[in-house]
């Protein structure tokens, strides 16, 4: 790791101030990706602004179908939240399969979506749920927020403070993990609100999370795994690497979509 300067923010405003006064500073949430990248010298921020002790970034609130998860909430907290599970079990299920138990004790939803790793789980969940990403300065619809691999609509000095969404009628998540890293080789989140179905895919796209419209259309007619028999996804914009070819990922998108629907239907 290169040299860096550590700062502990006391509030979101404090964090923004520290960030602006730094040379090439970065916000540090759980650190599960950033510290690892710094260890291998792939990231070299001049300053780290630790958000873990900012009280306003903690907590989950569920009011009927309206859910707000503060950005500093850990994956373990989301996974274990009983009220949230009753409103939207799939998001708890998703969180319970991020990394491993130790990573889930540190990693946060805000950190995950600010980084927008193309194989992270939350982007699929939030995009399919049509969530809103709340920052210190504005609210951004998930459709506008995830702009590409490791890229988001966040601007300099902007801090994710929460995500909020309305729990859908039915939703489910199915993930096929990369055998080595256990990130999503392909993860599919499906959400149905009335006749509208949103399907988001992580791990597979060559430019990050995306919505699978062919699958959405098939499921809009009938929200059942059987509706996806014979449906195929083009491999054209999918990723190929040593772990999986685009063809294999295209297959997994459909298979995981079926399983996500089955999970949604309980």
Partner 1 sequence: MGIEGIGARVARKEDRRFVTGAGRYVDDMVVPGMKHAAFVRSPHAHARIKGIDVTAAQAMPGVIAVLGGRELQADGIGNLICGWMIHSKDGSPMNMGAWSPLATETVRYVGDAVAIVVAETKGQARDAAEAVEIDYEELPAVTEAVAALEAGAPQIHPEANGNLIYDWEIGEAKAVDEAISRAAHVTRMRIVNNRLVPNAMEPRAALGHYDKAEDHYTCWTTSQNPHVARLVMSAFYNVAPENKLRVIAPDVGGGFGSKIYIYPEEIVCLWASKKSGVPVKWVADRTESFLTDAHGRDHVSEVQMAFDADNRMTALKVDTIANFGAYMSLFSSAVPTYLYATLLSGQYVIPAIHANVRAVYTNTAPVDAYRGAGRPEATYLLERIVETAARELGVPPAELRRKNFIREFPYQTPVIMNYDAGDYEASLSAAMEAADYAGFEKRRDEAKARGKLRGIGMSCYIEACGIAPSAAVGSLGAGVGLWESAEVRVNAAGTIEVLTGSHSHGQGHETTFAQLVSDRFGVGIDTVNIVHGDTDKVQMGMGTYGSRSGAVGMSAIVKALDKVEKKAKKIAAHLMEADEGDIVIENGECKVAGTDKTVPWFQVALAAYTAHNLPEGMEPGLKEGAFYDPSNFTFPAGCYICEVEVDPDTGKTEIVQFVAADDFGNIINPMIVEGQVHGGIAQGVGQALLEGTRYDPGSGQLVTASYMDYTMPRADDLPSFQVSTSNTPCPGNPLGIKGCGEAGAIGSPPAVINAITDAIGTNDLTMPATPQAVWSALKSATRH
Partner 2 sequence: MSKVEMMVNGRKVAGEVEDRTLLVHFLRENLGMTGTHVGCDTSQCGACVVHLDGKAVKSCSMLAAQASGSDVITIEGLAAGGELHPVQAAFKEHHGLQCGFCTPGMIMAAVDMINRHPGGLDEKTVRAELEGNICRCTGYHNIVKAILAASGQMSAGAARAA
Per CB under 8 A, 232 contacts partner 1 = no
CB of 3: closest distance to partner 2 in angstroms?
A: 6
Which of partner 1, partner 2, none is residue 255 near (CB under 5 to 8 Å by kind)? partner 1
**What's the CA gap between 34 and 48, in Å, rounded?**
10
CA 17, CA 57: separation in Å to the nearest integer? 16
The DSSP code for 10 is S
In whole angstroms, what is the distance from residue 203 CA to residue 137 CA?
29
Distance CA 99, CA 225 (A): 27
**If DSSP codes are grouped into helix, strand and coil, which group holds residue 83?**
helix
141 binds partner 2 (CB under 8 A): no
Contact 219, 206 (CB under 8 A): no
Question: What is the per-residue binding string for partner 1 in 184-223, x denoting contact by CB under 8 A?
Answer: ----------------------------------------
Please tell me whether residue 232 adopts helix, strand or coil conformation: coil
Asked if 179 touches partner 2 (CB under 8 A), the answer is no
DSSP type of residue 59: -
C-beta of 146 vs 183, nearer to partner 1: 183
In whole angstroms, give the CA distance from residue 44 to residue 36.
Answer: 11
The span from the CA of 218 to the CA of 220, in Å, is 6
Whether the CB-CB separation of 103 and 32 falls below 8 Å is answered with yes
Q: Which of 18, 76, 126, 163 binds partner 2 (CB under 8 A)?
A: 76
d(CA 266, CA 263) in angstroms, rounded, equals: 5
Residues in 88-107 at the binding interface with partner 2, rule: CB under 8 A: 99-103, 105-106
Task: Pick the piece of the chain touching partner 2 (CB under 8 A) from 46-54, 55-63, 153-161, 185-193.
Answer: 46-54
Q: Which does 48 bind (CB under 5 to 8 A by kind): partner 1, partner 2, none?
A: partner 2
Pick the binder of partner 1 from 35, 211, 251, 262 (CB under 8 A).
251
Indicate which single residue of 11, 17, 22, 35 sits in contact with partner 2 (rule: CB under 8 A): 35
**How many residues make contact with partner 1 (CB under 8 A)?**
17
**Both tokens assigned to 245:** 């070819």
Chain contacts with partner 1 (rule: CB under 8 A): 1-3, 40-41, 176, 179-181, 242-245, 248, 251-252, 255
Chain contacts with partner 2 (rule: CB under 8 A): 1-6, 8, 28, 31-32, 35-36, 38-40, 48, 50, 52, 76, 99-103, 105-106, 181-182
């Amino acid at each position: 790791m290169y040299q860096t300067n550590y700062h502990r923010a006391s509030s979101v405003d404090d964090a923004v101030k520290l960030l602006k006064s730094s040379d090439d500073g970065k916000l540090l949430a759980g650190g599960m990706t950033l510290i690892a990248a710094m260890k291998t010298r792939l990231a070299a921020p001049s300053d780290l602004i630790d958000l873990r002790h900012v009280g306003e970034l903690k907590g989950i609130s569920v009011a009927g179908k309206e859910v707000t998860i503060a950005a500093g909430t850990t994956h373990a907290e989301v996974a274990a939240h009983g009220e949230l599970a009753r409103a939207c079990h799939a998001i708890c299920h998703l969180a319970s399969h991020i990394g491993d138990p130790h990573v889930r004790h540190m990693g946060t939803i805000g950190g995950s979506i600010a980084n927008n790793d193309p194989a992270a789980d939350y982007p699929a969940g939030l995009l399919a749920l049509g969530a809103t990403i709340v920052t210190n300065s504005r609210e951004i619809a998930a459709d506008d927020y995830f702009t590409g691999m490791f890229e988001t609509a966040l601007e300099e000095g902007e801090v994710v403070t929460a995500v909020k969404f309305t729990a859908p009628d039915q939703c489910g998540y199915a993930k096929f993990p990369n055998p080595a890293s256990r990130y999503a080789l392909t993860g599919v989140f499906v959400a149905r609100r009335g006749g509208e179905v949103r399907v988001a895919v992580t791990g597979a796209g060559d430019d990050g999370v995306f919505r699978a419209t062919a699958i959405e259309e098939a499921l809009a007619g009938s929200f059942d795994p059987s509706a996806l028999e014979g449906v195929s996804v083009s491999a054209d914009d999918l990723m190929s690497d040593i772990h999986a070819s685009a063809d294999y990922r295209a297959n997994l998108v459909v298979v995981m979509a079926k399983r996500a629907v089955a999970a949604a239907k309980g």
